[in-house]
Amino acid sequence: MEKVKDIKWNDGMKVSDLTERMGNIGFQATELKKATDIITEMKRSGAKTYFTFTSNMVTSGLRGLFAQMIKLGIVDVVVTTTGGIEEDIMKATGENFLIGEYRTDDVALHEKGMNRIGNLLITNESYSKFEDYMLPILKKIYGKKKRLTVTELLREIGLMLDDEDSILYQAARKNVPIFCPAITDGSLGFHLYMFQQDYPDFVVDVVRDFSTLLSSSSYDDKKGVIALGGGVSKHHAIFGLLLNGGCDYAVYMTTSRTYSGSMGGATPNESKTWGKVKVDANEVSVIGDVSITFPLVIMRAMDVMKKEGLIKDE
């Protein structure tokens, strides 16, 4: 067993050094350090890594970090929600989101055409510009192919973007599939619906996309999941892994607790009862705000991976 050690400040301490030392603090700090070790082991073992996150994380400043992970080959498959897709596109086309306050006059914000996500703000104008951008994009895609899966649709959009900090841009160029099973649950879904009214033979096939998810790994592959938050993005990935024998590595990071029975609060041990995580899997659940915990985890993992030659900082 490890011993508890006091942590102290050192002048010039690096993020990776801080995360390393947190392993001897105890409580969630120790779990956080364990998460970095498991993610690094995923890469060492050659495990196919599934990365899931909810849309609010793309609203925040984590988006560029997610794109960088794809660029560096740390993840092989992405599963997210519609909001994360549309806000990635918004940022890639020049829209800026603002930082506001948790305690604010929401009626006044509504009257100003501002939409609040926690302490972040998105204007109605950004959504209007998104609509103007998407119509010609969908027409171009329709001209190439009238029936396609969600992953195919998102790859086509990613190839038309010009922003290296974009998740879709990097995924399209690195051939990393992005799954979004609830594609209609947001502004993008509404635009797809409206487009289909004018072009009834335009079909986005969600069911066939599930077949793509299942074929993205095999029963014999080593598999790992990094799940930030819960909901459909987390469950879609681990359900697909269940049908391929479950995952060998699992890192869950969330603010939810297990007591409500939610997907976000479900621990890796709970997932073992379903076979989504193997009984002997290397796993951890980190409780805390991902905007704080995840940068500490992944940046130390990146440092270790680079030292071991597992990634190259391009």
How confident is the prediction for the chain on average, in pLDDT?
96
The separation between CA 158 and the C-alpha centre of its own chain, rounded to angstroms, equals 16
Q: What pLDDT digit, counting tens, does each position of 139-198 carry?
A: 999 999 999 999 999 999 999 999 999 999 999 999 999 999 999 999 999 999 999 999
Q: What pLDDT digit, counting tens, does each position of 86-125 carry?
A: 999 999 999 999 999 999 999 999 999 999 999 999 999 9
Q: What do you get for the CA distance between the two ends of the chain, in Å? A: 38
Mean pLDDT of 21-34: 97
**Contact (Cβ atoms closer than 8 angstroms) between residue 187 and residue 132:** no
Q: For the domain 15-95+130-307, what is the CATH superfamily, name and number?
A: Deoxyhypusine synthase (3.40.910.10)
Measured distance CA(64)–CA(87) in Å, rounded = 12
Residue 311, phi then psi, degrees to nearest 5:
-135, 155
CA angle 257, 85, 310 (to 5 degrees): 75
**Secondary structure element (H or E) that encloses residue 46, with its range:** none
**Secondary structure element (H or E) that encloses residue 216, with its range:** none
Residue 70, phi then psi, degrees to nearest 5:
-65, -45
Q: Tell me if the pTM is above 0.95.
A: yes
Domain boundaries, the chain: 15-95+130-307
Measured distance CA(313)–CA(307) in Å, rounded = 11
Out of 71, 223, 276, 278, which one is annotated catalytic? 276
Residue type (1 letter), 113: G
Active site residue 276: yes
